[in-house]
Structure 1
Amino acid sequence: MKLILSTGNIVSGGPSIIRKPGAYRSNLELTNSLRSNFLAAQQDYALATDEADSDGIENTNGNGNGFHGAAPVTAWTALEDGALYVPRIDWSLAGLQEERAQYDITVKLFFLPTAPVSDRAQHARAALDHVLRELAVPNVDLLVVSFPGMSFEGDCEWEADKMNATQGNDDEEAATWPTVEELHRQGLVKNLGIAEFGSEKLARFLKRVQIRPTVNQINIKNCCNVPPPLVKLAKEQGIELLVHSDCTDILSRGTLRGLLGRGLQGAGLLADSEEDEGLRGDLTPEWVVKYTAVVRDRGVIENKGYFASAELTE
């Protein structure tokens, strides 16, 4: 069974002013936002009286800890097109407040190490489709791809750049890129970007792609400055360097099971023991996508959130 997790719009109290660089790392923001959305959905549907559905998902959250008095699982989740949405989504409420032309929309897709490389084409399209549906837009301005095993860490920018040269997998990254190039050709994505590519990695990557990235995001929190060789290469190639605070170890197996299990602050969706009721099987995170819609003329974030996908196999 496919599970689709969502945070909804995590911008609270109205649109927020953009502050750069962000200090809230993506894994913490994602997990906290998912927990909050699960709890809100359980509370919203607490009066529902639906019985367990035909797929055997029991009417209980079962953890007895973080979600007291919550709705039955079948009330706050929904089966749609063969996927279980956690929580259920009212698509009639989707969309932005103004016309599409008023927004800069950035999407960041995290390919996870737990998912097969051969499935990345399917995952990329599914992730983008969910964002387009959530924002009710025909395209996005920038799609940034984050590959697993990449980072910018070291005692200085020179060391970080050197270490980065041996990270990731050049062949897998080059084999994946045509997938996002096709999204660009179809008009779904206006510009493409990558994350955590140092000077050597970037130089090798550019030789193997047809549509070049226009943006390279790097996280220099654990070193000092942007490496001079990377600055030089990016300038020569017309690639914009952006600093970010995201991470690449987002949504591990343990984190995901903790979110959906019956422990403290778990949603109670999974059975943690033979005696428990709920979904059973191995849970494999597949992808995470982060989206941000910024109103251009006011510089405020109107909509920001995450989707995540996982496969549950018996």
Structure 2
Amino acid sequence: MGTDAARALLERATTLNLQTGNLLNWGGLRKKCPATPGEEVSGPRRCSFSTAGRRSGGREALEVVECTVAQAIEKINPEERDELKVSAKLFIIGSNSPSIRDAVDMACSALGVAQLDSVIIAPPPVEDGISLSLEYLQPYWQELENLVQSKKIVAIGTSDLDKVLLEQLYLWAQVKPSSNQVNLASCCVMPPDLTAFAKQFDIQLLTHNDPKELLCEASFQEVLQESIQTTKAHEWTPLWLLRYSVIVKSRGIIKSKGFILQARRNAS
């Protein structure tokens, strides 16, 4: 689909769903394979808008635009499902907890699976001067717990929580966090108190190198503007970004990885 057609669709839509497909297939598409988390996000967004398409709504009332790299879409073979671990990390950017279900449903649909083996949630954004608290995390965690209870997710985890907040969450939660990611860029050694608490309650400590802000509203709007030359890019706000990976259990190698993003237009 050409730029003009994509722009026309987006200017009538209220929601944009973007899927990169398997980034490991991008070599066959003659595109440079992203090296860092930031490149993984910006690269797919730059090339995907050209494949925008309509999912629902009529000529005058378009609601959702689907945007995918069709050649890179790769569903899991049901016969291989038991041999694979499907995990995801969800970055809440500008939304509320109910969007978590949308993200998980879209990931399951994209990969052709009934459930995800694990989902880690990155701390949602808080206003300047306000510290992340249990009270702020609770609605997001409750939505994850609902998805565990409905068997859409097997295990749930957190990211960048210190020992105090992780303990508060663990004691309050019905479904306990199975893991907590630690960014070693800001912490060269695992904090001893966090390590001791995680060991006591069988919480796996993982490391990550994601930037503090993987995707912000301004950068998303900039890429949207550059991609389809729309004057209404400022009306679009990214709600969440989900990164998934499919790992072969017996060999520990990544079979597939990609991103799914949802954005909403706030027309004045």
Normalised by the size of structure 2, how large is the TM-score? Answer: 0.81
Q: 2:247 aligns with which of 294, 297, 301?
A: 294
Higher share in helix: 2
Aligned residues: 238
Show the counterpart of 1:120. 97
Using the aligned pairs only, state the percent identity. 24
Q: 2:160 aligns with which of 189, 196, 209?
A: 196
Q: 1:102 aligns with which of 69, 83, 88?
A: 83
Matches of 2:157 and 2:81, distance apart in 1: 21
Whether the 8 Å CA contact 2:89–2:244 is kept in 1: the answer is: yes
Per-residue deviation at 1:259? Answer: 1.2
Q: Which amino acid aligns with 1:120?
A: S
Find the residue that maps to 1:267 and give its secondary structure.
helix
Find the residue that maps to 1:242 and give its secondary structure.
strand
Show the counterpart of 1:129. 105
Question: CA 1:253–1:13 in 2, change beyond 3 Å: closer, same or farther?
Answer: closer
Whether the 8 Å CA contact 1:27–1:249 is kept in 2: the answer is: no
Matches of 2:233 and 2:47, distance apart in 1: 23
Whether the 8 Å CA contact 2:241–2:262 is kept in 1: the answer is: yes
Q: Which amino acid aligns with 2:41?
A: L
Find the residue that maps to 1:225 and give its secondary structure.
coil
Whether the 8 Å CA contact 2:221–2:233 is kept in 1: the answer is: no
2:44 is aligned with 1:33: yes
Normalised by the size of structure 1, how large is the TM-score? Answer: 0.70
Matches of 1:282 and 1:298, distance apart in 2: 45
Whether the 8 Å CA contact 2:224–2:233 is kept in 1: the answer is: no
Per-residue deviation at 1:310? Answer: 1.0
Q: 2:55 aligns with which of 80, 86, 107?
A: 80
Per-residue deviation at 1:25? Answer: 4.2
Q: 2:141 aligns with which of 177, 180, 196?
A: 177
Matches of 2:121 and 2:234, distance apart in 1: 29
Task: Could you list the structure 1 runs, at least 4 aligned residues long, displaced by more than 6 angstroms after superposition.
Answer: none
Larger radius of gyration: 1
Per-residue deviation at 1:131? Answer: 0.9
Structure 2 spans left out of the alignment, 5+ residues = 1-13, 28-33, 57-62
Show the counterpart of 1:283. 236
Q: 2:114 aligns with which of 138, 141, 146?
A: 138
Matches of 1:170 and 1:238, distance apart in 2: 20
Q: Which amino acid aligns with 1:139?
A: Q
Find the residue that maps to 1:184 and give its secondary structure.
helix
Matches of 1:247 and 1:281, distance apart in 2: 23
Matches of 2:81 and 2:22, distance apart in 1: 17
Per-residue deviation at 1:85? Answer: 1.5
Matches of 1:281 and 1:34, distance apart in 2: 16
Matching of residues 1-314 of structure 1 within 5 Å: 1-12=14-25, 24-38=35-49, 42=50, 76-81=51-56, 82-87=63-68, 94-97=74-77, 99-112=80-93, 114-115=94-95, 119-121=96-98, 123-149=99-125, 167-261=131-225, 266-268=226-228, 270-271=230-231, 279=232, 282-314=235-267
Question: CA 1:86–1:235 in 2, change beyond 3 Å: closer, same or farther?
Answer: same
Per-residue deviation at 1:37? Answer: 3.8
Matches of 1:293 and 1:87, distance apart in 2: 19
Q: Which amino acid aligns with 1:96?
A: I
What's the RMSD between the two structures over aligned residues? 2.4
Structure 1 spans left out of the alignment, 5+ residues = 15-22, 43-75, 151-165, 272-278
Higher share in strand: 2
Matches of 1:190 and 1:216, distance apart in 2: 15
Question: CA 1:177–1:167 in 2, change beyond 3 Å: closer, same or farther?
Answer: same
Matches of 1:260 and 1:31, distance apart in 2: 10
